[in-house]
Amino acid sequence: MKPRKWMGWRIPAMAFLFTALLLTSCEKDDEIEAPIPPDPNEGVIFLPVVVHVIHEGENIGEGPNLSEERIKRQIEILNEDFRRKKGTRGFNDHPAGGDTKIEFVLAKREPDGAPTNGINRIDTTKVKVPILGYNQNHFAQYAYWDPSQYINIWTTPLPQSTECLVLGISTLPKTDLPGIQPSSWPGPNDAEGILVNWIHFGASNIDCYARYGRTLTHEMGHYLGLLHPWGRKDCVLNDYCEDTPAVDREVYGIKSFMGCAGEMVMIGNYMNWSHDEVMNIFTKDQIARMHYVLENHEGRKALRSSPGLDSN
């Protein structure tokens, strides 16, 4: 979860192949070895997402009824961050940083098989549901797709007064990864997914530290098993990633400072509450946790082969 002063979370062998090219000339044959560059998409896991746009009757493109362009750009930003793409804000050359090899795709098929663009708009002036609070269970009453086949994201119609205060919330996975206790798993009747305040979904020009679409990056990190680098703020039980310097307090802002072991805090880590403008790194240990969840979590293993990815 990534409210800033609110409850807590950013509630956020390669093998070079060589081939021999046989060049023929009139005089003689030469063999020249030409390297083929590695395929950047080799081994990438693609995961389907659905964005449930919860609005209050506005026209498309107005207020919380976000434009298709803004939604698509947000998914691009998410992929730039997760893939550490060169030439984007998501790139870093930090020795601990990596390409997660995880990418997100707006769903192409609804659960019933109908074609979709992965954007599901709900007008709350036409659908009434019981008020359950600001949580996944409340918004799932409007729309909720099988979480074993789709990652559900709800953009929520909060008022302008929540700008820069309420960012997003994510559920944690049911996993035996260290640091995620069964007590923090969603219950059997709880909806799983990510809420993002519509104001902070995608890039915008608001005057705020959270305007480059990193709220979703942070929350997706939680959804795939990452914790805040400060953990329990005791320098010991932190995020269970050895390559994120331990820190005993929440990390905000744009400036690094000394952590528990005399190392500078990794201000640019997506799992801090740092400003969007400085975020650009998932570490190798964080990436390993996310892959562990995708490979071992009963409810997430099938995401990569979801019919929702298939446009045929």
Shortest Å distance, C-beta 222 to Zn ion: 6
What's the alpha-carbon Rg for the chain, to the nearest Å?
Answer: 21
Shortest Å distance, C-beta 167 to Zn ion: 9
**Integer Cα distance of 22 and 24 in angstroms:** 6
Shortest Å distance, C-beta 271 to Zn ion: 7
Residue 27 has which token pair? Answer: 């005089």
**Integer Cα distance of 132 and 137 in angstroms:** 7
Longest CA–CA span in the chain (Å) reads: 83
Residue 309 has which token pair? Answer: 């990815």
* Count of residues that bind Zn ion according to CB under 5 A: 5
Q: Which is nearer to Zn ion, 106 or 169 (CB)?
A: 169
Q: Which is nearer to Zn ion, 107 or 210 (CB)?
A: 210
Return the amino acid letter for 218.
H
Binding of Zn ion by 168 (CB under 5 A): no
Given the rule CB under 5 A, which of 7-15, 100-108, 248-256, 287-295 is the region that contacts Zn ion?
7-15
**Integer Cα distance of 210 and 273 in angstroms:** 9
Please identify which residue in 3, 5, 7, 10 interacts with Zn ion, judged by CB under 5 A: 10
- Counting every residue, how long is the chain? 312
Q: Which is nearer to Zn ion, 152 or 171 (CB)?
A: 171
CB atoms within 10 A of CB 283: 26
Q: Which is nearer to Zn ion, 2 or 55 (CB)?
A: 2
Q: Which is nearer to Zn ion, 109 or 222 (CB)?
A: 222
Q: Which is nearer to Zn ion, 12 or 90 (CB)?
A: 12
* Sole residue written with tokens 């005089």: 27
**Integer Cα distance of 304 and 247 in angstroms:** 34
Q: Which is nearer to Zn ion, 149 or 269 (CB)?
A: 269
Given the rule CB under 5 A, which of 5-13, 31-39, 92-100, 248-256 is the region that contacts Zn ion?
5-13
Burial of 29 (0-12, 13-18, 19+ CB in 10 A): exposed
Given the rule CB under 5 A, which of 6-14, 126-134, 151-159, 233-241 is the region that contacts Zn ion?
6-14
Q: Which of 182, 190, 181, 153 is nearest to 168 (CA)?
A: 153
Q: Which of 252, 244, 249 is nearest to 230 (CA)?
A: 249
Given the rule CB under 5 A, which of 1-9, 55-63, 116-124, 237-245 is the region that contacts Zn ion?
1-9
Q: Which is nearer to Zn ion, 198 or 273 (CB)?
A: 273
Contacts of 133 (CB under 8 A, 6+ apart): none
Shortest Å distance, C-beta 218 to Zn ion: 6
Contacts of 249 (CB under 8 A, 6+ apart): 230, 233
Binding of Zn ion by 12 (CB under 5 A): yes
Shortest Å distance, C-beta 195 to Zn ion: 12
Shortest Å distance, C-beta 2 to Zn ion: 5
Please identify which residue in 3, 6, 9, 79 interacts with Zn ion, judged by CB under 5 A: 9
Q: Can you give the binding site for Zn ion, defined by CB under 5 A?
A: 2, 9-12
